[in-house]
Structure 1
Amino acid sequence: MATRDALWAYRDEFGDAFGRTYFRRFGPGVASSVGIGTYLGDPTAAVDDAYREAIGLALRSGVNHVDTAVNYRCGRAERVVGEAVRDSPVDRDAVVVATKGGFLPFDGERPGDPAAYVRDRFLATGIVDAEELANGAHAIAPGYLEWSLDRSLDRLGLDAVDCFYVHNPETQLAARSREAVYDRLEAAFEALERRRVAGDLGAYGVATWDAFRVPEGGDRYLSLAEVLARAEAAGEAVAPDDGHGFEAIQLPFNVAMADAFTRRNHRPPDADPGADADPISALEFAHEAGLSAVTSASIGQGELAREGAIPADIDATLAGETPAQRALNFARSAPGVTASLVGASDPDHVRENVAAGTFDPLGASAFDAVFE
């Protein structure tokens, strides 16, 4: 697991090569504000090899935040992340490794009959109950998430992960009420608190696509204030003298999808229950609550890397030699953002993304001005 001393030592080794605030507080220390994601790509040996090389290069170049999930690339992503981390000359304790559980994973390749695979692999074996499923392939039941964490640790070949996200819990809203989803999240958090106390994870959080950025009351909306309150209750139930381990949220954010900054849809974390309070954005909530905010889709899964994809007036304010660098620096510039993830299985793209960190992000006032 990442440690304070090792994370700061990594920063001391690489920090002078980067711009202002490139390393930011995360977990027990600091980590790079550019992170490498592992979502995209086919589940093939060739893509495995490419990611293995790319992650190794990133770790040797100043990126020490790697993000994956149990279901990415049919489970192959975690194996490659673990191999790259274990084979790297960089100490494991200097790397933040984050993964996710929620979607039922395949095992190496997509089966010909996914429904039959879920029935035989998960339902018939008792790994998950049919009643807990949403959309046929998503569960956040405590037993399933513990199985998922164990599966992740096995695939990664690591003793612990630094952050374990409950993956897209808003998916559960297709099968049950919002209050029921909050109840299930609290039960999930209690299980993760127990695993945190046992040393299997350093912290946990929630990774979302829609939940925190859509309008309040929308079909896939979840309240950050309520999610945090459920984590606080879970911490009190499991380890009342040790606070709680809910420390991070992940959500999409880029120049074309800026709702996490522009939409005020969450009650402030310090607001009195029942009292009127002006709503704030997801990123402002994270900042006020002391949560790390990690952005996904930071360059729009490659769409914003094209010349002209960023509006010209915004593009002119951003530092970077390429559209991808400027898009990444937009995401890193938003107040409250801890790290911005970008997928890369090509060494040239890794070098381009790393180089984005050599430019200073926009200051808070300059970033605000973009939206005036």
Structure 2
Amino acid sequence: MATTEGTWRYRDRFGDAFGRTGFRQFGPGVVSSLGVGTYLGEPTDAVDDRYREAIVTALENGVNVVDTAINYRCQRSERVVGRALGESDADREEVFVATKGGFVPFDGSRPADPGAYVRREFLETGLASPDDLARGSHCIAPSFLDAMLDRSLDNLGVDQLDLYYVHNPETQLAVRSREAVYDQLGAAFRLLERRRIAGDLGSYGVATWDAFRVPQGHERYLSLPEVISRADSAADAVGVADHGFDGHGLAAIQLPFNVHMADAFTERVHPVDGVEKSALECAREAGLGVFTSASIGQGELSVEGAIPPEIDERLAGDTPIQRAINFARSAPGVTCSLVGMSRPEHVRENVAACTFDPLGARAFDETFE
């Protein structure tokens, strides 16, 4: 697991090469403000090899955050992260590893009949029940997450995870009420609190696409304050204080954020003591880290002209990608911006973005005036 001593040691080795806030505090340790994402790409050996080389390059050049999920590329992304951790010069204690559970994962390749695969591998084995599945592919029942967490540990070749996300819980809103989904999250959090007590993970979080940035009336909306409340209740129910923990283990959220998807900053949809706040503001005040996905719009912001000129001219960076990364890194409350990196040359360009200073809070606010 990443440790305070290990992550600060990593920061001391690379931090001087970066601009202001190239590394940011997360808990008692520090993480790079740029992280490696592993979502995109076909489930092939060739893509595995590129990812492995890219992740090793990142870990050896100042990026100590790697984000994945058990369903990414049919479990191949987790497995290649594990190989890269073994090959890199970085110590395990220096690297922050996050993964996710919620979507039913294929194994190595997409099956010819996905429905039959899910029935055979998950329903008939008892890993999931039909009542717990949403859209035939999503489950956050505690027993399912428990099994998937174990599988993720095996895939990654690690004894402990630094951060384990409940993955896109808003998917469950397709088949049940919002209150029922909050109850599901409470049950999932109780499981993750027990795994935290057991030493299998350092913290947990919620990774979303829509939930925290859409209006309250939206069919995929979830209230971040309510989610935090369910984590408080879960910690109390499990009795974490008796095991030396100070409060719940909910430590982070993940959501998309870029120059074209800035809702997490602009949309005030989370009521806190009678005041509507944005997801970023709510998370910051609650002490949660924020890891942004789609930080370069899954590649759409890599071309000249993709960033509005009036914003682009304010951002530091030699290339559109570097400026897009620096927009995401500049938002108040953002801990780390995740970018898919499946080639070493992508890593080098992205890491160079961190040699530039991000916008200050006031300058960032001015981009929306």
Which band: TM-score by shorter chain?
over 0.9
Bigger mean CA deviation after superposition, 240-249 or 168-177: 240-249
Equivalent AA in structure 2 for residue 125 of structure 1: T
Equivalent AA in structure 2 for residue 263 of structure 1: E
Give the 3-state SS of the residue equivalent to 1:35 in structure 2: strand
Ranges of 4+ aligned residues in structure 1 off by more than 3 Å: none
**Structure 2 counterpart of 1:280:** 277
Q: Distance in 2 between matches of 1:311 and 1:184?
A: 40
**8 Å CA contact retained: 1:208, 1:251:** yes
Q: Distance in 2 between matches of 1:221 and 1:4?
A: 35
1:25 Cα offset (Å)? 1.0
1:328 to 316, 319, 325: 325
Task: Map residues 233-272 of structure 1 onto 2, 5 A cutoff.
Answer: 233-241=233-241, 242=245, 243-268=247-272, 271=273
Q: Distance in 2 between matches of 1:240 and 1:67?
A: 26
**Structure 1 counterpart of 2:197:** 197
Q: How many residues align?
A: 365
- Residue 107 of structure 1 pairs with residue 111 of structure 2: no
Bigger mean CA deviation after superposition, 237-246 or 73-82: 237-246
**8 Å CA contact retained: 2:203, 2:250:** yes
Q: Distance in 1 between matches of 2:73 and 2:168?
A: 17
**8 Å CA contact retained: 1:27, 1:203:** no
**Structure 2 counterpart of 1:274:** none
- 1:299-335 CA deviation, whole Å, 9 max, x = no partner? 0000001111000010000000000000000000000
Equivalent AA in structure 2 for residue 175 of structure 1: V
**Structure 1 counterpart of 2:304:** 307
**Structure 2 counterpart of 1:346:** 343
1:160 Cα offset (Å)? 0.7
Q: Distance in 1 between matches of 2:167 and 2:316?
A: 32
Q: Distance in 2 between matches of 1:302 and 1:89?
A: 29
- 1:160-185 CA deviation, whole Å, 9 max, x = no partner? 11000000000000010000000010
Equivalent AA in structure 1 for residue 236 of structure 2: E
Q: Distance in 2 between matches of 1:150 and 1:244?
A: 21
**8 Å CA contact retained: 1:27, 1:162:** no
1:278 Cα offset (Å)? 2.0
- 1:44-73 CA deviation, whole Å, 9 max, x = no partner? 000000000000000000000000000000
**8 Å CA contact retained: 1:203, 1:245:** yes
**8 Å CA contact retained: 1:166, 1:207:** yes
- Residue 94 of structure 1 pairs with residue 94 of structure 2: yes
Equivalent AA in structure 2 for residue 106 of structure 1: F
Q: Distance in 2 between matches of 1:34 and 1:165?
A: 18
**8 Å CA contact retained: 1:33, 1:339:** yes
Q: Distance in 2 between matches of 1:40 and 1:370?
A: 30
Q: Distance in 1 between matches of 2:239 and 2:110?
A: 40
**Structure 1 counterpart of 2:68:** 68
Q: Distance in 2 between matches of 1:295 and 1:184?
A: 24
**8 Å CA contact retained: 2:197, 2:240:** no
Q: Distance in 2 between matches of 1:180 and 1:278?
A: 25
**Structure 2 counterpart of 1:160:** 160
1:239 Cα offset (Å)? 2.4
Task: Map residues 14-163 of structure 1 onto 2, 5 A cutoff.
Answer: 14-163=14-163
1:26 Cα offset (Å)? 1.6
1:240 Cα offset (Å)? 4.2
**Structure 1 counterpart of 2:184:** 184
Equivalent AA in structure 1 for residue 10 of structure 2: Y
1:87 Cα offset (Å)? 1.6
Q: Distance in 1 between matches of 2:277 and 2:326?
A: 23
**8 Å CA contact retained: 2:193, 2:240:** no
Q: Distance in 2 between matches of 1:22 and 1:286?
A: 20
